[in-house]
Structure 1
Amino acid sequence: MKTFLHDVVCQLDVKNINAYTFIFPSKRAGVFFKKELLSHISGTVISPLILSIEEFIEEVSGTITISNTVALFILYDVYLKTPSKLPKDNFYAFSKWAQLIIQDFNEIDRYNINSSQIFNYLASIKEIEHWSKNLNQSELIYNYLEFWNSLELLYNNFSETLLDQAKAYQGLVYKVAKNNIDDYIKETNKTHVFVGFNALNTCEEIIFKSFKQSDKALFFWDLDEYFYNKKNHSAGKFIRSFKENNLFETNDLTKLPNYYTHKKDISIYGTQKSVGQAKLVGQILDSLDTENISKTALVLGDENLLLPVLGSIPKSVNNINITMGLPLNLSSFYHLFLLIFNVKSSKETHIFYKDLFNIISNEYLRPIFISDSIDVVLTNLKQSNEVFYTLEKVCLFFPKNEDFLKAIFYKDNNVTDSIHQFLFIINVLKDELTLRPNSAIELEYLYKFNQVFEQLLDLNKTYKHITSISILFELFKELVSNETLDIKGEPLQGLQIMGMLESRVLDFENVIITSVNEGILPSGKSDNSFIPFDLKTEYGLPTYTDKDAVYTYHFYHLLQRAKNVHIIYNTEMDALLGGEKSRFIHQLETEQLHNIQHHILSADIPTYIETPNHIIKTPLVLSSIKQLAQKGFSPSSLTNYIRNPLDFYYDKVLGIQKEDNIEEVVAANTLGTIVHEVLEVFYKPFEGKILEVEPLEALKTKIDATVLMYFEKIYKNGDVTKGKNLIIFEVAKRYVLNFLNFEIAELKNGHEIKIIALELKNEIILDVEPLNFPIKIKGTVDRIDEFNGITRIIDYKTGSVKQDKVRVMNWEDISLDYDKYSKPFQILTYALMMSQSAPLKFPLQAGIISFKNLKSGFLPFQKQISYGKYDDFISQETLNDFKQELCKLILEICDEKTDFVEKEIKSFSSF
């Protein structure tokens, strides 16, 4: 395949190659040109000067190009010194709008716009937008308009300040180079060769015209005749405009090649998400032989695909060259530093437990601590239930890592100290990683982050504008977003992986392009600028339509000389990342010039028949069940079996307990335990006695102190002085108060209540045929009393329970439906235990007092007699019927032929 660079070299006098200076759109293009040049030269020669356009412009200007971050700091200096009627923003607020201002300054200078005119025009537009008949402007409107009126002065002062230091942002470099170009041309004795340019800014056009008029330049335009002659095709938009501006002679057009109309094999693939695209790239590459791989370019429309693609490249691809680098903000270290920044910038004076757990459990930090004690420390921290910790207490857990912990958790708004702490953390991480095998990439990442923090340290030392951790945090994210970890490879061998801009001037036989979706290729109406679209059009500044034309050129340039093209787009609709296939694809299909095959691909999704999990009752499992039966089944464990036998198996048979977690907010079961404990201590003195109003009234004065005491005991170190916990604390007090008032009202209404027992532990032995071993049932009844001579077995519930949840229609259902019958099952179990362990007077009642439904009072168990009619009392017959169902359930649990089968869990809400 004859490439564009081959055609260029063939038109040069290679014997006198040092008479030329070459300028390319990118450094990468210069590397490939040097390779092509070598193939046409025999013997040894001194390489000509090969520059990227940015290097050339900087050389002509005689200035040093500064980064956007440095420009931001210098601009703030200028901003503070520039007279204005407006109050000055702090650096943090300033940085939010100044980044866009710098971008606009860049465009104004690169396109050689009269700054005075455009800023006056812009200010006038803003005045018209806020025009009012009211002559007295509000302070907000006045400040807003004053801001736009002050931009010209800020721009002029900024430019002068930079030029006095021989520095410039990119746009200013172009402006100075444009002013210096005539002197540069007079002094040079070499022919300058400009290769492969397309879209030029105004300064570049002026520089190119100056060279054209001097007869000291050659221009090679990398465009196909098809795009130039097709007047409406965006790929030729800029080259056609150059002819109108007399940037090249008419006879230059006769040299345009005609490659695009040659038949090409184009495969268009629609697939799902980034992973689907990456996997498809791997399959395409796997189908190519070694020779074809070296003639292949993989162009990533969305550069965030780099990591997934690298993970999908087949082993058959031996050599890879990547030009874009791995973004720092996609690394694990970046997220670690974000975590530390969040800790340092938190307004809390103490350390939040989640931050502490995340830090000491981090994959890179965990090995630095004493590894054997990490799990022990985490367990102890969870058991202490503290939500916030002091730095001193944390250091006690890891006394050998005190300095490291202080670097992470110490909260001080001193920016210099904070940067040094990050550098110390990086140094400790480096020492740890050095001891690990295969950690070269991690160490390279750390080195890049070290450079970022060193740069922040230098910037703050020079300009002293970083006055808080929050500003440091924002600048850190800004710097990292522009940094990549460059991967060194052989630039001229193997598979070439690049972004769209790196493909300029280069030609490949095989091209794979990913993410060809609207919003990505082309990017669409994304134009971050303070200058409105109409004003940009008026002054010839680039708009999103020009940006689309640039990407159209790059896209079609890749196809121009290629033979085999694979275009991949994402079929999944995504408002942010695109979803609709690109207009470029529609355009290719409409042209009907090439052999196009369209494929819609999707992942092979295996068909799974969802079946519930089964646990077979082996002899070992049956032995454990027997031991559990002899130890005792509780009503809650039996209802847990009804709810889901698999949970019963894990919890009771295997003894797997749920991991303890810190209760940041008081859990429902904790609230219930506290209320139970308070009521027990309040009513314990009344056991065996008839309740009276005055003693109950006296208990009200003790509610606050008693509830607080049990919160401290059960909730341990949890904070109940603020937030949701304070509300729950007040709810607990309200529950106790409401219950006392409820009991007092009952007494005042003439009812007699006698407390028989509180928190009564009970157990019985059941003979379940045909089991040959005894079954123990055990449990604790919250309260037993006599209400007007009728015995009541009461279970407290802090959640909401209604009467229909304490009814049984059919006995057969009580051991089948947890959501409907778990509460009747529980209270009937208590009643059965009480009837067998102590003489009870029938009829009796067993029921629930719901603190969230206290107005309904005592909710007795009810058995349906007939439709709409229920019996509130429990007889011996009732207990016999229940006992029969209970024995069936226990027999099922112990039956070797009945597996533990997982049930679908229904949601329910009560405590």
Structure 2
Amino acid sequence: MTPFLAEITDKIIKENPDFSNTIWVFPSKRAGVFAANYLKKNNSKTIFAPEFLSIEAFITRLAVIEPASTETSLCLLYESYLETGIKDKESFSSFIGWGTTILQDFNEIDRYGVTAKKLYTHIQNLQEVSHWALEEDKTEMVKAYLKFWEILPELYERFTKKMLAQGIGHQGLLYKKAKENIAQFLIDLPATTFYFIGFNALNTSESDIIQYILSEKRGSIFWDLDQYFLENPLHEAGYFMRKHLKNWPYFQESKPEGVSNRYTSTEKKVNIYGVPKSVSQAQLIGEILNEFSQEQVLNTAIVLGDEELLNPVIHAIPNGLKANITMGAPLSGVPMATLVAHLFDLHTNNYSNGWHIKQVQDVLTHPYIKLLVEGNQYNAVNTFIYHCQKQNISSLSTDYINVAFNTSHTIISLLFKDKANVPATFVSRFQELLRVLNDFSEKNKQPQISSEVNYFSEIFDGLSAQLTTFPFIDNLSGLKKIYLETLSKKRLSFSGDALEGLQLMGMLESRNLDFETVIISHVNEGILPGGKSTNSYIPLSLKKIFGLPSFKEKDAVYAYHFYRLLQRAKNVYLLYNTATDVLEGGEPSRFVHQLKTQGIAKVQVNDQLAMPILDAVTPPLIEIKKDQSVIDQLLQKAKSGFSPSALNTYIRNPIDFYKRYVLKLKDPEILEELIAYNTFGTIVHDSLQALYTPAIGQVLTENHFKEFNQQLPHILTHFFEKHHSPTKSLKGKNLIAFSVLLQYLKDFLEYDQECAKKEPIYIESLEKEYQMTLQIPGVSESVLFIGSLDRVDKRNGVTHIIDFKTGAVKPTDLKLKDWDGLNNSPERAKVLQLLSYALLYSQNHGNTPVKTGIYSFKNTQDGYMFFEDTLKPSNKNIVAEDTCNAFKEVLVGILQELFNIETPFVEKEV
């Protein structure tokens, strides 16, 4: 396989062996590097090398102005906007949202040589027609909308003049000036010959510049396209070349150079794999590479359709294979970018009572900040966070943080001195933080931190300069948007051999390059090609009239890049995502369908689905044997008492019981930024106890419920603040949670009041603990059994035990169908709990029969749901002495197994 650039280099050498006055222009800088290498290999003499330029560098030289960054362009565009006649001007942070699209449109207008005033006059007229009405008066909103379109020609003129006055330009303006300067440029370089190599889609300015050079007999152009795509009038890959052949006067006398028939004449195997999810694609790429010989790897390119796959692919490359990574990793993925994001969140937060704990935690637990803060104080940050979680603190004052970490701590002072909500303060503080990090990294030899410090120092130095030049960046929202715009353009470069070995790149980096083996990921519709979405305010109909590119042209660009990669390749691997929960919907690209139906004899297509190889290892279930020390711990627990919940824990999973009650391990404290499920239940129980306590020993009346409803908001507020956070600062999901709790309790009071109207309810006790002792065979000491009964009341002489649940409970959960399995079935936990309460109460009240049930706040339509003994012919809801005795035997059996030293704790799959 002879690469395109090698062919063209050889051709130019034969036609013009003197390169001293030649400029070679390529679509990318990388293509020039490869061409220089081929030139070196194909020429044995010592010569003056030609000048190799990317098209961007060539246009910049022609334009005689410097490229402006996107953020500088946006700032100058906003300055120009402020000078227009619009009355109610938007802030800079609001402007960026739509200003970015306007800038993109101005860029297209200039690249394609469109007269801005003419285009925007057409748009204005269209908007006037669309808002036409019989009424003469238009609303202020409509007037403002139409005024926006009216000022765009003025905005364009002001913006262009402002940029030229500073000797800079956005990409479109550079193309516009380059086109204006091309004639003088050729006069200034009378002996220079120009070669344009490997182009396809050209904007109007590029097309006019190249055509002018060709018409002046000052250069040549070489195309990289196959005859198969050119001659097929419907094939997207040949769309632009057919357009050039039709419209360029040059082709009336000259044939296109560089067109080949490699696609149909080269034997090639195309392997198409449908793979679920992106990571599986990376895994499959690694497996494919594993099957290659060393020689094949040296002429292989991995082309990523989605740059997010870069890191997974890097880790999937087999050990021992060196890869050259050309696309660069987004700087937004490094730890320093995460730290900046956390600091923006910290200082833009409007929490009235200080620093929001979640954002403080994010900053302090960032690995770089932890390194600086802790120093010799190992685990200081974790200890501080644990304390906050323990106290459930939702906001922190600066003084509180200072005391916790010592007011003299430089980093704490830098981060939390006060809110840096002024852009200049925010930037200067972060620059100081970067200096501290740089000193730390040099002292402790942390090259990664040093590298990131260098990148971000450059970014924040630029932001500092922007703030000086453009005072309208006056809040953190605007600063953040400019920062993100800057960050999105930055890439981390990788070291590697640009010319040899496995090449890992994006689709644009592959322009003009050829490889015998090509692996392309994300060949999905919506990615390759990119779909119909466009970021523009210019209507599609006017784009067609004025010759501006639409999704049709963009799809043709994708098609060209894709098929050009396949032209000379012998082995092609195309991977697409089959998962239907992604934006591309699991649909393979239409390019895949075209390959399968094109019917070219020498192109063998193999289509298959591939499933990821999962190294799933099922860990063995834990088994812990008991010894005397374990029995001693259980005996200690027997003195304080086993509760129904403790026994249910044992039944559900003995290992959980072992961890909690033998090892006495607690669940980690979790900071409740949003109210937790268990806290929700605690607030409900405490609120009901506080409401009903005055009614203990009384029959509930209308006056009771009137008083309950009056007290409810105050009582709920008290317990919400006690267990979670201040209600004055409630917002978002916590505000919803408070409202839900209030409604839950209101609904219960209404239901309980209706019950009290039907039959008198006498409140006997609330949250009262009952206990009894059990003699367990084989256990030397008595075992205490305890339980706290949420509410005990009497109705028509029958005792009712009520347990309140904030989780979902169904009536079927409370049915006793048989006694077998009650001692080992987690699904019957509610039955065990209710029978435990019945046993505890009856043992303390002369074996009094009771009804025991649950009120579920998640299932209010069923009201009070009572235990039902389906084994009885009648009185199924009554728990009498015989049922208590039968349950007591089950209870003794559970405890006997628990204390049996020969029965280990065996983990259950839950």
Coordinate RMSD, CA, aligned? 3.9
1:894 aligns with one of 899, 905, 909? 899
Cα contact 2:329–2:492 (8 A) shared by 1: yes
Q: 1:512 aligns with which of 500, 519, 542?
A: 519
**Residue among 58, 61, 66 paired with 2:60:** 58
For normalisation by structure 2, the TM-score amounts to 0.87
Deviation for aligned residue 1:469 = 1.0
Which of structures 1 and 2 has the bigger CA Rg? 1
Letter in 2 for 1:885: V
Q: Specify the alignment match of 1:74 in structure 2.
A: 76
Matches within 5 A, 1:41-440: 41-84=43-86, 86-188=87-189, 189-244=191-246, 245-248=248-251, 250-253=253-256, 256-270=259-273, 271-318=275-322, 320-349=323-352, 350-370=354-374, 371-399=378-406, 402-409=409-416, 410-435=418-443, 439-440=446-447
Q: Give the residue type in structure 2 aligned to 1:210.
A: Y
Paired position in structure 1 for 2:508 = 501
**Structure 1 SS opposite 2:497:** coil
Deviations, residues 277-333 of structure 1 (Å, cap 9, x unaligned): 212222233333333333222222222221111111122323x32221111222333
Query: Structure 1 residue 638 and structure 2 residue 641: aligned?
Result: no
Alignment equivalent of 1:489, drawn from 466, 488, 496: 496
1:122–1:764 distance in 2 versus 1, CA, 3 Å: closer
**Percentage identity across paired residues of the two chains:** 31
C-alpha separation in 2, matches of 1:649 and 1:419: 53
Aligned residue for 1:299, secondary structure, equals strand
Deviation at 1:75, TM superposition (A): 1.0
Choose from 19, 22, 25 the match for 1:20.
22
Distance in structure 2 (CA, Å) of the matches to 1:90 and 1:220 = 49
Map 1:609-628 to 2 at 5 A: 617=626, 621-628=630-637
Q: Cα gap change, 1:111/1:143 in structure 2, threshold over 3 Å: closer, same or farther?
A: same
Aligned partners of 1:791 and 1:251: how far apart in 2? 106
**SS class of match (1:660):** coil
Does the CA-based 8 Å contact 2:304-2:520 persist in structure 1? Answer: yes
**Partner SS, residue 18 of structure 2:** helix
- What SS is found at the alignment partner of 1:220? strand
Deviates more, 1:878-887 or 1:543-552: 878-887
Question: What is aligned with 1:656?
Answer: 665
CA separation of 1:129 and 1:791: change in aligned 2, threshold 3 A: closer
1:532 corresponds to 2:539: yes
Alpha-carbon offset, residue 171 of structure 1: 1.0
Contact 2:645/2:833, CA 8 A, preserved across alignment = no
- Cα distance, 1:148–1:740 mapped onto 2, change above 3 Å: closer
CA–CA distance in structure 1, aligned partners of residues 890 and 311 of structure 2: 60
Cα distance between partner residues in 2 of 1:873 and 1:255: 94
**Which residues of structure 2 form unaligned runs of 5+?**
none
Q: Deviations over 1:335-393 (max 9, x none)?
A: 33222212211121322222222222223322222233233222221222221111221
Matches within 5 A, 1:691-840: 707=715, 711=719, 715=723, 718-719=726-727, 722=730, 723=735, 727=739, 763-780=771-788, 797=804, 810=818, 815=823, 816=825, 818-831=828-841, 833-834=843-844, 840=846
Is contact 1:24-1:197 (8 Å) kept?
A: yes
SS of aligned partner of 1:365: helix
Counterpart CA distance in 2 for 1:856 and 1:583 is 55
Contact 1:806 1:823 in 2 (8 A): no
| Residue aligning to 1:573 | 580
Name the amino acid aligned to 1:889. Answer: I
Change (3 A) 1:208 1:859: closer
Paired residue type of 2:897 = E
TM-score between the two structures when normalised by the length of structure 1: 0.87
Do the aligned partners of residues 710 and 874 (structure 1) sit closer, same or farther apart at CA in structure 2, a change above 3 Å counting? farther
- In the alignment, which residue of structure 2 is the partner of 1:670? 682
Is the Cα contact below 8 Å between 1:754 and 1:787 reproduced in 2?
A: no
Greater Cα shift, 664-673 or 25-34: 664-673
Aligned in 2, Cα 1:899/1:726: closer, same or farther, shift over 3 Å? same
For 2:704 and 2:541, locate their aligned partners in 1 and report how far apart those are by CA, in whole Å: 80
- Residues 297, 501 of structure 2: 8 Å contact kept: yes
The secondary structure found in structure 2 opposite 1:562 is: coil
Q: Distance in 2 between matches of 1:253 and 1:849?
A: 85
Number of aligned positions between the proteins = 887
For 1:819 and 1:522, how far apart are their aligned partners in 2? 56
SS at match of 1:37: helix
5+ residue gaps, structure 1: 906-911
Residue number in structure 1 paired with 2:873: 867
Q: CA deviation at 1:162?
A: 1.7
1:646 and 1:901 in contact (8 A); partners too: yes
SS of residue paired to 1:39: helix
Report the CA distance between 1:163 and its aligned residue: 1.8
**Alpha-carbon distance, 1:792 to partner:** 5.2
Letter in 1 for 2:664: G
Q: Judge which range, 32-41 or 718-727, deviates more.
A: 718-727
Residues 214 and 348 (structure 1), Cα distance of their counterparts in 2 relative to 1, 3 Å cut: same
Question: CA shift at 1:767, angstroms?
Answer: 2.0
Q: 2:4 matched to which residue of 1?
A: 4
- What is the Cα deviation at residue 223 of structure 1? 2.3
- Displacement of 1:616 in angstroms is 5.1
CA distance in 1, matches of 2:295, 2:161: 55
**Structure 1 residues 562 and 824: alpha-carbon distance in aligned structure 2, compared to 1, 3 A threshold:** closer
Per-residue CA deviations over 1:188-210 (Å, capped at 9, x if unaligned) read 12112222222111111221122
- Partner amino acid, structure 2, of 1:506: L
* Segment drifting more, 849-858 vs 358-367: 849-858
CA distance in 1, matches of 2:705, 2:124: 75
**Tell me, what secondary structure is at the counterpart of 1:529?**
coil
- Give distance in 2, aligned partners of 1:631 and 1:324: 65
The 3 A distance-change label for structure 1 pair 760 and 287 is closer
Residue aligned with 1:347, SS: coil
User: CA contact under 8 A between 1:181 and 1:207: conserved in structure 2?
Assistant: yes
Aligned mates of 1:750, 1:21 — CA distance in 2: 101
